[in-house]
Chain A
């Protein structure tokens, strides 16, 4: 969601610019270094939570999240943004969630079942969020609400919000795909095969419609 608000990104980059310049120009840190540092803080947060020091864990997690925001800003500020950097950021974000969520389960604050389910939902969402450009953004951030709400409830919300986000993202991608198919125009009987073939780089002749036409199959019925 944050990526869809370029004004917010520019404001946050401007705010932390002195820190970015200090880290990169004075200390020689790269965005990847900052990403790894954020992960180290997240692992430390997970360890603290697992040993029952939840508040300390949340503070460490906060530092990790601040660093997680800085790495992207540094990449943009110094034109160091890359696909590999984005992939590393996503990978370590998910690993951070595993470390922190596992801490809650090990401490006995929530069940292993809901931790695993929440992680599955987040992983599913990650596979489509970039393409659909929709992410509810309710992951680690929700844990700060543990000051007011019980953690089992928060984990239920994380699971359901990310799972719902995943289902919505699938629909968004479907609608994007439908718009592409409609843009192809022509015979709509074959358009799904054509668009799918284009999408996957497969030749059109591999589509089932072409094969069935050759076999003299009956016309395609309407989907009720």
Chain B
């Protein structure tokens, strides 16, 4: 999913859970900033493809695959908050609804999947989710202002 959609989902979660301070930082870190691995892959893309638009390039890393729960769960327990797990799970769930290839258990397993809802167009899914999240954000924010 695109970063804007992740931002809306994370912001909705932050508002709905009333997060502040360290928890808010953790929410945005695990809900959005895990996408930083695309930057790690950028030099590889430029070297292999150049400046062309090449669809289907493997941009992902273990940083935003379910295997990352192996270190995120202990970290959450250490920090005494469930926020990293919740927001990371939301991020992963959203990404798994888009059809690009993913390796959920790499490097422990070479299993490759495209996720779920593969029969529906990605553009449709992204637009619908973006719209729903935007509306919910506005509703929650308005409710918060009224309160």
Contacts and interface: CB of A to CB of B under 8 A. Distances in A.
Interface residues of B, number: 48
A40 B31 CA distance: 46
Interface of B: 1-3, 37-38, 40-41, 44, 47-49, 53-63, 67-68, 70-71, 74-75, 77-78, 98-101, 103, 106-114, 118, 121-123
A218 B44 contact: no
Contacts of A199: 110
Nearest to A222: B55
Contact of A188 (B3, B57, B60, B70): B57
A163 B75 CA distance: 8
Contacts of A128: 107
B56 A189 contact: yes
A207 B75 CA distance: 34
Interface residues of A, number: 50
A178 B42 CA distance: 11
A62 interface: no
B9 to A, nearest CB: 14
A212 B78 CA distance: 42
Given A163-B71, A178-B58, A196-B111, A222 B100 contact: yes
B97 to A, nearest CB: 12
A65 to B, nearest CB: 26
B78 A159 contact: yes
B122 to A, nearest CB: 5
A10 interface: no
A200 interface: yes
Interface string A184-196: 0101111111001
